[in-house]
Amino acid sequence: AQTVTQSQPEMSVQEAETVTLSCTYDTSESNYYLFWYKQPPSRQMILVIRQEAYKQQNATENRFSVNFQKAAKSFSLKISDSQLGDTAMYFCAHWAIQGAQKLVFGQGTRLTINP
C-alpha cells in the first residue's frame, strides 16, 4: 500500500523568503504521479504542482518548484519569494497509475507567511 508522510506539521517564514516543505512516500509502483495541493482558509483544494514519476526533470510552476528524488522517494516543494497569499495547508499526494486507483495524501503542513 502507498503511504505519504509529511514530517513538518507547521512552518512559518517571513514574506519574500524561500521555504521548502518536505514529503516522503512509499510505493511499490514504478509508474505514478505526485502532487502538491494547497488548502487556504476557504477550504478549497487547489492543485499547486504535479510530477510524473517517469520524468526526471523537476516540475516548476512560477514560484513553485519541486525536488523529486525517485530513489530516495522524496518529493519536496520549494516556494520562492513567498507571499501572504501562500498561507495555507499544503498536502503532498501520491497516485499510482496502475493498481490502487486512489489519491493518497500526507498529513499536511500548515504554512504561515508573516508580513
Partner 1 sequence: NAGVTQTPKFQVLKTGQSMTLQCAQDMNHEYMSWYRQDPGMGLRLIHYSVGAGITDQGEVPNGYNVSRSTTEDFPLRLLSAAPSQTSVYFCASSSSWRNAEAFFGQGTRLTVV
33 touching partner 1, by CB under 8 A? yes
13 touching partner 1, by CB under 8 A? no
18 touching partner 1, by CB under 8 A? no
Q: C-alpha cell of 46? A: 487547489
Instruction: Assess contact for 58 and 65: CB atoms under 8 A.
Output: yes
35 touching partner 1, by CB under 8 A? yes
41 touching partner 1, by CB under 8 A? no
DSSP 81: S
What is d(CA 52, CA 41) in angstroms, rounded to the nearest whole number?
A: 28
Out of 48, 49, 66, 104, which residue is the one contacting partner 1 (CB under 8 A)? 104
- Neighbouring residues of 40: CB distance < 8 A, sequence distance ≥ 6: 46, 85, 87, 88, 89
DSSP 115: -
Out of 41, 56, 71, 101, which residue is the one contacting partner 1 (CB under 8 A)? 101
**CB of 71 vs partner 1, minimal distance in Å:** 22
Q: Which residues bind partner 1 (CB under 8 A)?
A: 4, 6, 9, 33, 35, 42-45, 47, 50, 91, 93, 95, 97, 101-108
